[in-house]
A and B are shown apart, each in its own frame.
Chain A
Amino acid sequence: GDSVTQMEGPVTLSEEAFLTINCTYTATGYPSLFWYVQYPGEGLQLLLKATKADDKGSNKGFEATYRKETTSFHLEKGSVQVSDSAVYFCALSDKWYSGGGADGLTFGKGTHLIIQP
């Protein structure tokens, strides 16, 4: 079945550091890929998405490129801020897959990011 693997952390960085959070996936179909962010005490919010190979999603200084050849969707940001401290979830939606994650949306386990001033 579909799965998403991401580094779990916590990942601790200093302000203005470069961020990479790795995400790889396995899927039976042609998935769309997402990064969601969860700030403390809140629900998940979509950060960015890519719907086909070589697409780049971007938002709030974050970027991720859909790499079909390496089945990856790594999240990057050139200069992180304290306000970026949150849990980040990589996810995929595979409309051709009818198994577990029954709505076609499969999440990774989340990466807790801590940015120190």
Chain B
Amino acid sequence: EAQVTQNPRYLITVTGKKLTVTCSQNMNHEYMSWYRQDPGLGLRQIYYSMNVEVTDKGDVPEGYKVSRKEKRNFPLILESPSPNQTSLYFCASSLGRDNQPQHFGDGTRLSIL
């Protein structure tokens, strides 16, 4: 089954404690991206990757890092989380930048206390 898998689905943690949200896709997609979803703001892109070792900033990259060492994985790293990063996060993948639709994971709800 084609899917994008995120882990964890839920996490409550404290300010400053480094965390990583993993994302894996089994569709051999080149393009992957991370979004955050906040009430009244919709989805905003954090980072995207057009292929292995190629990443770039989206609309709201501050406070986040990503890496793309393998085609299937695109982890999101919060080196020093802060309460304003409390949000619902989605990973997505597609065949390429100009190939839609994107396939979304089920989301990760992060709460930073």
Contact = CB atoms under 8 A, between A and B. Distances in A.
Given A102-B48, A103-B48, A105-B100, A43 B43 contact: no
Contacts of A46: 100-102
Contacts of B97: 95, 103-104
| Range, interface on chain A | 20 to 34
| Range, interface on chain B | 20 to 34
Contact of A102 (B40, B43, B45, B101): B45
A1 B102 CA distance: 21
A8 interface: yes
Contacts, number: 63
Interface string B54-90: 0011110000000000000000000000000000001
B106 A100 contact: no
A89 interface: yes
A108 B97 CA distance: 19
B105 A102 contact: no
Nearest to B48: A103
**Ranked 4 nearest A-B pairs via Cβ:** A43-B104, A109-B42, A46-B101, A44-B104
16 contacts: A42-B106, A42-B107, A43-B4, A43-B92, A43-B104, A46-B101, A89-B43, A95-B98, A102-B45, A102-B57, A102-B58, A103-B45, A105-B45, A109-B40, A109-B42, A110-B43
Interface of A: 8, 32, 34, 36, 41-46, 49, 89, 93, 95, 100-105, 107-110
